[in-house]
Amino acid sequence: MKQVFLFFIIALELFGNVVKSPVIGINEDATEVTIKVEKIDVGVSGFIVHEIADGHTTILKNAVVTSYDEGSKIAKVQISRYNALASSALPDGKWEVKVGDTAVLAFGYTRGILIAPNEEIYYKITKNSKLQWVHPDIFATVLSFNGHPTPLRSDFTQMSIDSSVGLVFIFLDNRVYTLDAKSFKILAITDAKVEQKEVSLPFYTRVPEIDAAWWGEGSDELEEYEPHYYELIIKANPNDKTLYEIVKSGNEKLKDLLDEFDFEGKKDDRKKTFGLF
């Protein structure tokens, strides 16, 4: 077991460095830029930064890597409105992204949060890592403020912004899924075989109760751990064939989630799986 967690910790430490690269191209409708970078994973998020004057910069856009070509070292980066620091008291610049601006990616990857089903698993995974772990109690307070005893994707995004968390780790069925906190794209799937004796819902936290809103999505108590977190991950990764195979080979409670996937050849695979040929 020690060896398994050593491998996980080594993989985890690889995510620590911020990547900076100048913008070398912008598409026609200014929704995507290109950069040249030695190595980057699809799904890594960050910002586009513009230099106003010597030593003074401002963040213009959110950024998420959508593709990377290892041969040319070219990455395509989707950009969108940056509103993390939105305030009527702050000046609103009119700068647009241009060639020469800087993509800052993997920002906050030194800080992470682990969603685990119980205290034992939580501490087995986190105790030997140099990563700055944000305790799930903090996330539980975010959920309580929002009235969401069932965590939503938007809750993870808010926590990422409020606590500068770059990575989310979710333990599911003897695996740890490493996700970018904003894009929720899978960066790694690591085996972590450990006995799961009990489940705390919605996850391990020392907060005794999460307040619920009167109505709306997320306001109901979470009834089952694995199906909910698998669904959140699948919705952000509908083309991931590795995840599809994991879910397909999982228990019956996960079978309905197969319909959430969308990639070429899935329909034929489903026919073979359920003997429809």
Domain membership of residue 169 (yes or no) is yes
What is the token pair recorded at 232? 């959140």
Is there a single domain that holds both residue 142 and residue 101?
Answer: no
CATH at 53: 2.40.10
Domain end among 73, 105, 137: 105
Is there a single domain that holds both residue 180 and residue 211?
Answer: yes
Domain membership of residue 136 (yes or no) is yes
CA dist., res. 40 & res. 37, Å (int): 7
Q: Position 171: which residue type?
A: F
CA dist., res. 38 & res. 262, Å (int): 30
Domain membership of residue 270 (yes or no) is no
Is there a single domain that holds both residue 116 and residue 223?
Answer: yes
What is the token pair recorded at 86? 């939105």
Is there a single domain that holds both residue 98 and residue 117?
Answer: no
Residues 6 or more apart whose Cβ sits within 8 Å of residue 138: 113, 159, 163
CA 136 → CA 16, 78, 181, distances in Å?
A: 20, 30, 14
Domain membership of residue 194 (yes or no) is yes
Is there a single domain that holds both residue 73 and residue 43?
Answer: yes
Is there a single domain that holds both residue 65 and residue 180?
Answer: no
Is there a single domain that holds both residue 25 and residue 99?
Answer: yes
Is there a single domain that holds both residue 97 and residue 75?
Answer: yes
Helix, strand, or coil here: 1?
coil
| pLDDT number for residue 140 | 98
Helix (H) or strand (E) holding 180: strand 175-180
Is there a single domain that holds both residue 162 and residue 233?
Answer: yes
**Total of domains in the chain:** 2
Domain membership of residue 97 (yes or no) is yes
Is there a single domain that holds both residue 50 and residue 150?
Answer: no
Direct distance between the N- and C-terminal alpha carbons of the chain, in angstroms, rounded to an integer:
42
Helix, strand, or coil here: 195?
coil
Domain membership of residue 24 (yes or no) is yes
Domain membership of residue 258 (yes or no) is no
Is there a single domain that holds both residue 188 and residue 132?
Answer: yes
CA dist., res. 275 & res. 277, Å (int): 6
Domain membership of residue 219 (yes or no) is yes
Which residue range is the domain that position 32 belongs to? Answer: 19-105
pLDDT by 10s per residue, the chain, length 277: 444 454 455 455 556 679 999 999 999 999 999 999 999 999 999 999 999 877 788 999 999 999 999 999 999 999 999 877 655 555 566 789 999 999 999 999 999 999 999 999 999 989 877 789 999 999 999 999 999 999 999 999 999 999 999 999 999 999 999 999 999 999 999 988 888 889 999 999 999 999 999 999 999 999 999 999 999 999 999 999 999 999 999 999 999 999 999 988 776 665 555 554 3
Is there a single domain that holds both residue 177 and residue 231?
Answer: yes
**How many C-beta atoms lie closer than 10 Å to residue 193's C-beta?**
10
CA dist., res. 183 & res. 157, Å (int): 8
CATH at 228: 3.40.50
